[in-house]
Amino acid sequence: MNKNKNNKAIWNSRIKEDASILFQKVGNSIDIDKKLFKEDILGSIVHVEMLFRQKIISFKIKNKIIYGLNKIEKEILKNKFEYNKKYEDIHMNIEKRLFQIIGEDAGYIHTARSRNDQVITDFKMWTSSATKEIIKNLNDIIKTILKVSEKNIETIMPGFTHLKNAQAVSFAHYLMAYVEMFNRDKNRFLYNIKSLSECPLGAAALTGTSFNIDRNFTAKKLGFEKPTNNSIDTVADRDFVLDFLYSVSVCSMHISRIAEELIIWNSDGFNLITLSDKVVTGSSIMPQKKNPDLLEYLRGKTGTTYGNLFSMLTILKGLPISYFKDLQDDKEILFKSNEILNNCISILNEVLKNLRPNKQQMLNLANSGYITATDLADYLVKNHSMPFRKAYQITAMIVNFAEKKNKKLNELSAEELKKIEPKLTTEVLKVFNVKNSVNSKKSYGGTSFDNIKKMIMKYKKDIK
């Protein structure tokens, strides 16, 4: 009778032949889902505690199973556990080992559950922890950006639209834009934790169970808020995987945008920042090169995270509800995206911590391209009661004049300006100072130094 002591799969009483070697090779997922061992063991312990409380199994059997499961956890942690591909996945590997340790009583563990609800319970718990870890890492990157911003409130650089000089900004204001993005990412992940709050355990294969189980008990004990409402939806639902993959995609898109920005600023044409030697690589032929490879890695990996989101969407499209093997790929995809994102956040953190703004070059570039033209137009509106459109025209004439004379706006004299607009006096010259220009943008959310300081304070407080 001791069927499970031999080297057979657990369902061997019905399926007489071993799976073909090819199927064993492709159908198993143990190398991937072994990551779920902790959640699987905890889920099983809580499950048998509930079975005992509900008088479905005896005290003795419950304790025996828990003893066996704890022993298995230790073996896994000490790398002494032998994974066998023949048993497909982590759930069956653990159950098989339980038989070896405690004998036939191990057979009670799978009362009133199925792998379908088991796998999704483990996976939801894992995803919830991974989400919390990402939020922690996002806090770290935000802290780094706040530190760099604090040191660069009065570092003036050109702000670009269409990659052409637009208006002067503080370097810190640029960086703080990324704090906004990472903060939205954090909120997106926080929202996902909420969507992970329903416990699948007890949905069994797809119908629920005729045993008198207590799903509220298992849900609470495993850190969920409540059990799921519909057993078929429970085993079919992978929306939480999509939420995770989408959030990873958006976050890596943000990382990719900052990476691209830094690559441009680091290029010889711009030369606005210097990257630390720690994050650049040399060329095998051009001895002078310091290439921003790591930033390019960040930009490239974003493609993989989008691909993963689309893989999962495609797997789910048209799949009838309840469980199908198609779903097994969900874990490989999510684990990969999770790993990529955490790597990317760490890399970006390292890059930002060691980045040096080339302040003089930033200022020089901010002083070119007639960047204070809008300030001049605003000045005319405010001081010479003109409609903005008229002020715009006069300013355009002044820019044309400066271009013809091959001068920057701040190199024009009051006399030259007066020839175009007689109302102007020497007082106007102050608007061509880029620092004044930056600090004049005091509207809420603008680049004035005070605004930036306030935002840095706000986020510092939020993160504490």
Which one of 162, 210, 385, 443 is the catalytic residue?
162
User: Hunting for tokens 């996902």 — which residue is that?
Assistant: 192
- Is 93 a binding residue for ligand ARG by CB under 6 A? The answer is no
Tell the smallest beta-carbon distance from residue 230 to ligand ARG (Å). Answer: 18
- Is 372 a binding residue for ligand ARG by CB under 6 A? The answer is no
- Is 37 a binding residue for ligand ARG by CB under 6 A? The answer is no
Residue 311 or 410: which CB sits closer to ligand ARG? 311
Tell the smallest beta-carbon distance from residue 31 to ligand ARG (Å). Answer: 12
Q: Which of 163, 378, 345, 362 is nearest to 247 (CA)?
A: 345
Residue 89 or 243: which CB sits closer to ligand ARG? 89
Q: Which of 64, 115, 215, 301 binds ligand ARG (CB under 6 A)?
A: 115
Residue 357: CB partners within 8 Å, gap ≥ 6? Answer: 152, 155, 157, 171, 272, 273
- Is 119 a binding residue for ligand ARG by CB under 6 A? The answer is yes
Tell the smallest beta-carbon distance from residue 196 to ligand ARG (Å). Answer: 17
Q: Is 349 helix (H, G, I), strand (E, B) or coil?
A: helix
Task: Looking at residues 315 to 344 of the shown chain, list those that interact with ligand ARG (rule: CB under 6 A).
Answer: 323, 327-328
283 catalytically annotated: yes
Catalogue the E-assigned strands of 176-282. 198-199, 226-227, 273-274
Distance CA 186, CA 191 (A): 9
Residue 73 or 95: which CB sits closer to ligand ARG? 95
Tell the smallest beta-carbon distance from residue 310 to ligand ARG (Å). Answer: 20
- Is 29 a binding residue for ligand ARG by CB under 6 A? The answer is yes
Residue 111: CB partners within 8 Å, gap ≥ 6? Answer: 51, 56, 57, 211
Q: Looking at this protein, which amino acid is placed at residue 137?
A: N
Tell the smallest beta-carbon distance from residue 205 to ligand ARG (Å). Answer: 7
Q: What is the pattern of x (binds ligand ARG, CB under 6 A) and - over residues 126-165?
A: ----------------------------------------
Task: Looking at residues 265 to 324 of the shown chain, list those that interact with ligand ARG (rule: CB under 6 A).
Answer: 323
Distance CA 160, CA 166 (A): 5
Asked if residue 211 lies in contact with residue 54, where contact means CB atoms within 8 angstroms, the answer is yes
Which one of 58, 267, 276, 283 is the catalytic residue?
283
Rg (CA), the chain: 31
Binding footprint of ligand ARG, residue count (CB under 6 A): 9
162 catalytically annotated: yes
Q: Which two tokens stand for residue 120?
A: 């999704």
* Residue 438: exposure state from Cβ atoms within 10 A (0-12, 13-18, ≥19): buried
Active site residues: 162, 283
